[in-house]
Amino acid sequence: MIPNRKECLRLMGEYGMLENIIAHSLEVAKVALFIATELNKRGERISLDLVEAASLLHDLTKTECLKTKEDHARTGAQLLKGIGYERVGEVVGQHIWLKKENDPSSISEEEIVNYADKRVMHDRIVPLEERFSDLKERYGRDREAIDYLDRMEREIYGIEQKIFFILKIDPNDLLHPLGFV
């Protein structure tokens, strides 16, 4: 079962997401849907409904977690699975770190949402490089934190290569308005 856009927006309101996190999520959904639609045109079979719902809801519990310091990927997954959205919960649970190793022969909804989140800084589409330098500035307080972000950055470049090898466009083309909503 996958909630439609209207239901996602209702949930976002119900769980009291901060305005800026909602704006971020809407932009992530645009990027993820664009990528998924373009991949499908080239023969992939990505569930657009799943990509849209998981993008909209990926930070559903982040506002709460800013206070509790819990892992919002984990609590978001838990909440969504608890209300019957099992698959959406799985994707949300992997929006920070992917569970499976990168399989070069296939692309998953998890990877698309994870990647789209890393291309949107606040509510603006940026190159990975800019997103990670911002993350390192904000969260890279010691060696361990920087290593953590470096690992994440390496992983996501692998996903970027795989996606754009199929799309045959430059990752930076996402920076320009592409006429998608």
Contact positions vs Fe ion (CB under 5 A): 59
Say how far apart CA 8 and CA 1 lie, in whole Å.
13
Nearest position to Fe ion, beta carbon: 59
* Least distance to Fe ion, CB of residue 43, Å: 30
Say how far apart CA 46 and CA 107 lie, in whole Å.
8
* Least distance to Fe ion, CB of residue 176, Å: 25
Measured from the CB atom, the residue of 25 and 108 that comes closer to Fe ion is 25
CB 85 within 8 A of CB 53: yes
Measured from the CB atom, the residue of 27 and 59 that comes closer to Fe ion is 59
Measured from the CB atom, the residue of 28 and 35 that comes closer to Fe ion is 28
* Least distance to Fe ion, CB of residue 115, Å: 13
- Alpha helical stretches, state H, 96-142: 109-119, 128-139
Burial of 159 (0-12, 13-18, 19+ CB in 10 A): buried
Question: What's the distance, CA 53 to chain centroid?
Answer: 11
Measured from the CB atom, the residue of 95 and 162 that comes closer to Fe ion is 95
* Least distance to Fe ion, CB of residue 10, Å: 20
